[in-house]
């Protein structure tokens, strides 16, 4: 659910702003000077909406729009082609997303989709949709709202810069640039002279209307390139490929403890799975979660020395327990003796698995000695005993669901070369770039949809004017075709948003 504190802050903040605005506009003494200040500042305040417009950046926009005219002409021609292709492709993408959502809704157990997705790492979700509705506090962590809103604002500014430069390139008067805040969502806009916009040709209009989503697409591509090259960019200060660095351990994490994980620890192995980066960490945890529990070689003499008589009983899930439930150090192990009979014994976990090789059967332990046994932890379903190597500290023995380790421990592949460097900086940069890629790409896709009030509406109208005017002499017929296409796109987008919100909030 959305945190109550977040709702209170947002509603309370907007209430104060709007009431202050209302009081000042109603005041006999302050009304005139206040409204004059708003006009001079370019501010506009209404319920849950603040808008600021300025002409300060006009000179910069005109400089960008008139520089290297031939190159800009080709640039926005590419953007026009991309915009038209994106407009028609958006129908296919939204249709596919809607079918995926409906398939999940009609499934006998919709939660199985979310559980199968959550069973893998965030970088390798099996049923991940291209477009998803994002709701702060539900499927968007509150602690990442700063990244989200910063990426939304940057994407919006780049989008509007595209419109502005293209308009100036096509000799449309540019009145100003502004930003706004709607509830908690920031955005940007450009103010163009409408009469000039209506007088230019449909192809010129297309270049202007497509420029926004074109710039968002290019920004997403640059973000992907930056993400790929980030290890190279940060190479003078951070190195990679030797393990993952712990950047945060949640207070409720099972990895907390005197022999647990701490910020600054370098993890190199999970069991016998080598970890050199974040992807390795996620893949190792996936493998450990889906494969049977691995065992450990132990000599017959050590086994005899450590084991003691136990009472074996079945748990509710069918697994076997043979230790005291209150023990924090002992674990029940199963093994097969020389007569291939399965036995159980309760052993101190650290002494049993320390400095031993991993195994699946007794044959895996015969390389060192024929009197060795492969002891396998007998744990509840989905629970695993994981040996986490983080030298020079002693190995951490983790008992629990692998996903709890995944979700409660934050890591990075970047290790600082110098002590004064922050271990969080690469994570901050990487997270922001990922949000920028996602949101800028989403803005390009959604705005391309031929839907009322979106860029897609104007792209469609200009495209029909450029292509059907010579074929269909009657403008009413052309407008009717455009209306039905817009209606279809609007219904498709609305259906995706509505069902997407239901899927997110209902779970």
DSSP 233-294: HTTTTEE-SS-EEEEEE-TT-TT-STTS--TT-EE-EETTEE--SHHHHHHHHHHHHHSPPP
Euclidean distance between the first and final Cα of the chain, in Å? 10
CA gyration radius for the chain? Answer: 30
Phi, psi of 438 (to 5 degrees): -65, -50
Q: What confidence score (pLDDT) does residue 127 get?
A: 47
The answer for residues whose C-beta is within 8 angstroms of residue 177's C-beta and 6 or more apart is 53, 54, 57, 58, 61, 160, 164, 188, 189, 190, 191
User: In angstroms, rounded to a whole number, what is the distance separating the alpha carbons of residues 281 and 245?
Assistant: 11
The 8-class DSSP code of residue 329 comes to S
Beta bridge partners of 320: 314
The three-class DSSP label of residue 429 is helix
8 Å CB contact between 169 and 73: yes
Distance CA 97, CA 412 (A): 32
Instruction: State how far the alpha carbon of 181 is from the alpha carbons of 47, 155, 160, 381, 447, in Å.
Output: 11, 14, 15, 49, 19
Categorise residue 270: left if φ over 0, alpha if ψ from -120 to 50, beta otherwise.
beta
Helix axes 455-468, 69-106, angle to 10 degrees: 110
Burial class (CB in 10 A: 0-12, 13-18, 19+), 424: middle
* Alpha carbon distance 150, 358 (integer Å): 47
Q: What is the pLDDT of residue 6?
A: 61
Which residues are catalytic, by number?
160
- Give the Cα separation of 150 and 157 in Å (integer): 11
Cβ proximity of 178 and 54 under 8 Å: yes
Tokens of 413: 């592949």
Q: Is the dihedral of CA 463, 465, 466, 472 positive or negative?
A: positive
Q: HSE-up of 427 (CA within 13 Å, CB side)?
A: 18
pLDDT, residue 13, reads 74
Taking the mean position of all CA atoms in its chain, how far away is CA 438?
Answer: 7
Q: Provide the whole-model pTM.
A: 0.83
CA distances from 134 to 140, 172, 438, 504 (A): 6, 36, 11, 8
**Tens digits of pLDDT across the chain (507 residues):** 456 666 666 667 767 887 887 888 888 888 888 888 988 899 988 888 899 999 999 999 999 999 988 999 999 999 999 999 999 999 999 999 999 888 887 874 444 434 433 333 333 333 456 778 887 777 788 888 899 999 999 999 999 999 999 999 999 999 999 999 888 889 999 999 999 999 999 999 999 999 999 999 999 999 999 999 999 999 999 999 999 999 999 988 889 888 899 999 999 999 989 999 999 999 999 999 999 999 999 988 888 888 877 888 888 888 888 887 667 788 999 998 888 888 999 999 988 888 778 898 888 887 656 678 999 999 988 899 999 999 999 999 999 999 899 889 999 999 999 999 999 999 999 999 999 999 999 999 999 999 999 999 999 999 999 998 777 767 888 889 999 999 999 999 999 999 888 888 776
Helix axes 145-169 and 202-233, enclosed angle (nearest 10): 140
d(CA 331, CA 312) in angstroms, rounded, equals 12
Q: Quick check: 60 and 177 in contact, CB under 8 A?
A: no
């Amino acid at each position: 659910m959305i945190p109550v504190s977040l709702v209170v802050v947002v509603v309370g903040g907007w209430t104060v702003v709007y009431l202050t605005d209302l009081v000042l506009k109603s005041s006999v003494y302050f009304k005139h000077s206040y409204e004059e200040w708003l006009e001079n500042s370019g501010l506009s305040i209404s319920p849950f909406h603040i808008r600021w417009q300025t002409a300060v950046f006009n000179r910069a926009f005109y400089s960008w729009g008139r520089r290297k005219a031939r190159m800009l002409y080709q640039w926005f021609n590419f953007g026009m082609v991309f915009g038209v292709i994106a407009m028609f492709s958006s129908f296919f993408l939204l249709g596919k997303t809607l079918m995926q959502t409906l398939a999940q809704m009609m499934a006998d157990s919709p939660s199985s989709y979310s559980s199968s997705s959550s069973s893998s790492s965030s970088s390798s979700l099996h049923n991940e949709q291209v477009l998803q509705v994002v709701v702060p506090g539900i499927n968007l962590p509150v602690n990442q709202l700063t990244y989200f809103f910063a990426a939304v604002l940057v994407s919006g500014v780049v989008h509007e810069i595209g419109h502005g430069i293209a308009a100036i390139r096509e000799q449309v008067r540019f009145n100003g640039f502004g930003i706004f805040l709607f509830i908690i969502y920031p955005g940007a806009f450009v103010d163009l002279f409408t009469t000039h916009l209506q007088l230019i040709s449909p192809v010129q209009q297309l270049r202007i209307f497509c420029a926004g989503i074109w710039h968002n697409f290019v920004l997403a591509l640059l973000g992907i390139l930056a993400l790929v090259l980030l290890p190279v960019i940060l190479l003078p200060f951070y190195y990679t490929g030797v393990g993952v660095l712990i950047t945060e351990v949640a207070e409720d994490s099972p990895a907390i403890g005197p022999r647990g994980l701490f910020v600054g620890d370098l993890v190199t192995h999970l069991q016998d799975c080598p970890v050199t980066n974040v992807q390795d960490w996620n893949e190792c945890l996936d493998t450990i979660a889906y494969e049977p529990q691995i065992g450990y070689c132990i000599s017959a003499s050590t086994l005899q020395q450590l084991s003691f008589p136990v009472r074996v009983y079945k748990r509710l899930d069918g697994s076997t327990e043979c230790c005291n439930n209150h023990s924090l150090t002992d674990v029940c192990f199963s093994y097969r003796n020389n007569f291939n009979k399965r036995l159980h014994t309760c052993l101190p976990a650290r002494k049993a698995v320390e400095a031993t090789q991993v195994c699946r059967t007794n044959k895996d332990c015969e390389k060192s000695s024929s009197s060795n046994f492969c002891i396998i932890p007998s744990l509840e379903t989905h629970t695993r005993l994981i040996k986490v190597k983080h030298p020079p500290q002693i190995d951490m023995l983790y008992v629990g669901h692998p996903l709890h380790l995944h979700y409660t421990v934050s890591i990075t592949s970047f290790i600082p070369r110098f002590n004064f460097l922050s271990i969080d900086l690469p994570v901050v940069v990487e997270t922001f770039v990922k949000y920028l890629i996602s949101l800028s790409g989403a803005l390009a896709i959604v705005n391309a949809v031929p839907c009322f009030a979106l860029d897609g509406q104007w792209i469609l109208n200009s495209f029909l004017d450029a292509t059907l005017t010579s074929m269909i002499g009657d403008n009413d017929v052309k407008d009717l075709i455009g209306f039905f296409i817009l209606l279809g796109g609007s219904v498709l987008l609305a259906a995706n948003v509505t069902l997407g919100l239901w899927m997110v909030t209902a779970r």
